[in-house]
A = this chain, B = another copy of it.
Amino acid sequence: MGKQLRYLEIAQIIKERIKNGTFARGESLPSQKELSEIFETSIMTARQALAILEGEGIITVVHGVGTFVAAPALHSDTISLQGFQNEMDRQKLKIHTTIVEKKYGAVKAELNRVFRNEQSEFSCLVRLRTLEGLPVILQRSWVSFENQSVIEEYTADKSLYQLFTERTNIMITLGREIVSPIILGDEELGLLNITEPCPAFHSRRISISLDDKVVLYDEAFLPGPYVMMASSKHGRNNKFKYIIKKDGAMDPLESFNDPQLWEDLK
Interfacial residues, chain A to chain B (CB-CB below 8 A)? 44, 54-58, 78-81, 110-111, 113-114, 116, 173-183, 197, 199-201, 204, 206, 214, 222-224, 227-240, 250, 252-257, 262
Please name 19 further chain A to chain B contacts, defined as beta carbons within 8 Å, in addition to the given A176-B262, A180-B227, sorted by A numbering: A56-B234, A56-B237, A78-B236, A79-B235, A79-B236, A80-B236, A81-B235, A111-B253, A113-B253, A116-B257, A177-B232, A178-B256, A180-B229, A181-B182, A181-B199, A181-B222, A182-B199, A183-B197, A199-B199
Q: Are B256 and A206 in contact (CB under 8 A)?
A: yes
Contacts of A201 in B (CB 8 A): 181
Q: Indicate which residue in B58, B200, B262 contacts A235 across the interface (CB closer than 8 Å).
A: B58
B253 touches A204 (CB 8 A): yes
A-B contact pairs, 27 of them (CB 8 A): A44-B44, A54-B235, A55-B236, A80-B238, A114-B253, A114-B256, A116-B257, A174-B234, A175-B233, A175-B234, A176-B233, A176-B256, A176-B262, A177-B229, A177-B230, A177-B233, A178-B228, A179-B229, A179-B231, A180-B228, A180-B229, A181-B222, A182-B224, A204-B252, A204-B256, A206-B256, A238-B240
Give chain B residues whose Cβ lies under 8 Å from the Cβ of A58: 235
- In the assembled complex, the Cα of A229 lies from the Cα of B222 at a distance in Å of 14
The smallest beta-carbon distance between A265 and chain B, in angstroms, is 8
Contacts of A113 in B (CB 8 A): 253-254, 256-257
CB distance from A128 to the nearest CB of B (A): 19
Contacts of A173 in B (CB 8 A): 234-235
A257 partner residues in chain B, CB cutoff 8 A = 113, 116
Task: With CB as the reference atom, state the residue of chain B lying closest to A198.
Answer: B183
CB contacts (< 8 Å) of A222 on chain B: these are: 181
Asked if B236 and A238 sit within 8 Å, CB to CB, the answer is: no
In the complex, what residues of B have CB within 8 A of residue A235's CB?
A: 54-58, 79, 81, 173
